[in-house]
Amino acid sequence: MLYLAMLIDAIWYDWTEERPQDQDSFKIGSLLAFSATQVIVGFMAQLATIPVAILLTFLFRRSQKRIKREDRVKKVAKNEEENWSRNGANEEETEDEGIQG
């Protein structure tokens, strides 16, 4: 959303004077001064940004968790381990029978 706001602000970049000199400019201390035109441009930029931000927020909230399929490598390793444990148990039984018999 930050990139969207920056993009919208870049569209209206340089539409107003850099240092407001007219009489209807607002001054806050000696460092901040902005004109009515700059306020209107900022307001218009936010009007263009807010609907898209609300839409993105809505889509992310409505999204559901993806069901991941099992990794094929892990699946093969699991099957091999099960086969090995079954075959290993069978071999131990036959070895035990051979010793007892």
Segments making up each domain of the chain, as ranges = 2-62, 71-101
pTM given for the model: 0.48
- Mean pLDDT score of the chain, rounded to an integer? 76
Residue range 62-67: mean pLDDT, rounded:
82
Which helix H or strand E contains 42, and what residues bound it? helix 36-62
Sign (positive or negative) of CA dihedral 34, 35, 41, 45 = positive
pLDDT band at 88 (very low <50, low <70, confident <90, very high): low
Rg (C-alpha) for the chain, rounded Å, is: 34
Distance separating alpha carbons of residues 19 and 35, to the nearest angstrom? 9
Residue range 49-73: mean pLDDT, rounded:
86
Which helix H or strand E contains 33, and what residues bound it? strand 32-34
